[in-house]
Chain A
Amino acid sequence: MITTRLILAGALAASALGFAAAPAHAADDATVSVLHGVPGATVDVYANGSALLTDFKPGTLTDPVKLPAGEYDLKVTAAGAGADGDAVIEANDVNVPGGANITVVAHLDAAGKPTLTPFVNDVSTMDAGMGRLTVRHVAAAPEVDVRANGKVAFASLANPKEVKADLAAGTISADVVLAGTDTVAIGPADVTLKEGTNTIVYAWGSAADANLALAVQTISGLHSSPTGVPAGSGGQADDAALAAQMGAALLTAMAAGAGVLAVTRRKATERA
Chain B
Amino acid sequence: MPRILKARVAVAAAAATLAGVVTFTAMGGTRDPASALAAAEAALPTTSPTMVVSTTNTVSPTPSVSASRSPNPRPTGVLRASDASLTAARPASRPPTRIRIPSLGAVLGIDPMGLDRDGAMALPESPSRAGWYRFGPTPGEGAGATVVAAHIDSRAEGAGPFAGLRTLDKGDLIAVVAGRTIRYRATDVLRIDKGELDLDSVFSRTGPERLHVVSCGGPFNRVTRHYEDNIVVIAVPVGAGSP
Contacts and interface: CB of A to CB of B under 8 A. Distances in A.
Interface in A234-248: 234-240
A230 B217 CA distance: 10
Interface stretch (B96-104, B173-181, B194-202): B194-202
A259 to B, nearest CB: 6
B118 A54 contact: no
Interface stretch (A59-67, A87-95, A112-120, A148-156): A59-67
Interface residues of B, number: 86
A263 B223 CA distance: 13
A52 B20 CA distance: 59
A227 B75 CA distance: 47
A226 B115 contact: yes
A268 interface: yes
B220 A188 contact: no
Interface in A36-69: 36, 50-57, 59-65
A53 B78 contact: yes
A264 interface: yes
B86 A232 contact: no
Contact of B199 (A63, A187, A202, A226): A226
B219 A239 contact: yes
Contact of B85 (A215, A235, A238, A272): A215
A239 B218 contact: yes
Contact of A192 (B59, B80, B197, B228): B59
B77 A17 contact: yes
Contact of A219 (B53, B115, B200): B53
B162 interface: yes
A103 B108 CA distance: 46
Interface string B62-100: 000101001110111111111111100010000000000
Given A53-B78, A219-B53, A221-B52, A231 B119 contact: no
B20 A53 contact: no
Given A234-B154, A234-B158, A261 B50 contact: no
A231 B81 contact: no
A18 B79 CA distance: 11
Contacts of B158: 234, 236
A179 interface: no
Contacts of A61: 55, 81-84
B51 A221 contact: yes
A176 B156 CA distance: 50
B119 A234 contact: no
Contacts of A3: none
Interface residues of A, number: 83
A130 B38 CA distance: 34
B193 interface: yes
Interface in A241-270: 250, 254-255, 257-259, 261-266, 268
Nearest to B156: A234
Contact of B152 (A63, A231, A262): A231
Contacts of A217: 55, 84
A191 B220 contact: no
Interface in B102-133: 114-116, 118-121, 123, 127, 133
A19 B65 CA distance: 32
A214 interface: yes
A187 B58 CA distance: 14
Contacts of A62: 79-82
B79 A263 contact: no
B215 A231 contact: yes
Please list the 3 inter-chain residue pairs (A to B) with the smallest Cβ-Cβ separation, ordered nearest first.
Answer: A234-B153, A232-B216, A238-B220
Given A53-B78, A65-B79, 18 more contacts: A51-B77, A55-B71, A59-B84, A61-B84, A63-B55, A101-B53, A128-B119, A188-B61, A190-B58, A216-B84, A216-B85, A220-B54, A229-B215, A231-B151, A231-B214, A232-B127, A258-B23, A258-B218
7 contacts: A61-B82, A190-B59, A192-B58, A226-B119, A228-B197, A232-B217, A239-B217
Interface of A: 12, 17-19, 31, 33-36, 50-57, 59-65, 101, 123, 127-129, 169, 171, 187-192, 195-196, 199, 202, 213-223, 225-240, 250, 254-255, 257-259, 261-266, 268, 271-272
Interface of B: 20, 22-23, 25, 49-61, 65, 67, 70-72, 74-86, 90, 114-116, 118-121, 123, 127, 133, 135, 147, 149-159, 162-163, 193-195, 197, 199-200, 202-203, 205-206, 214-222, 225-230
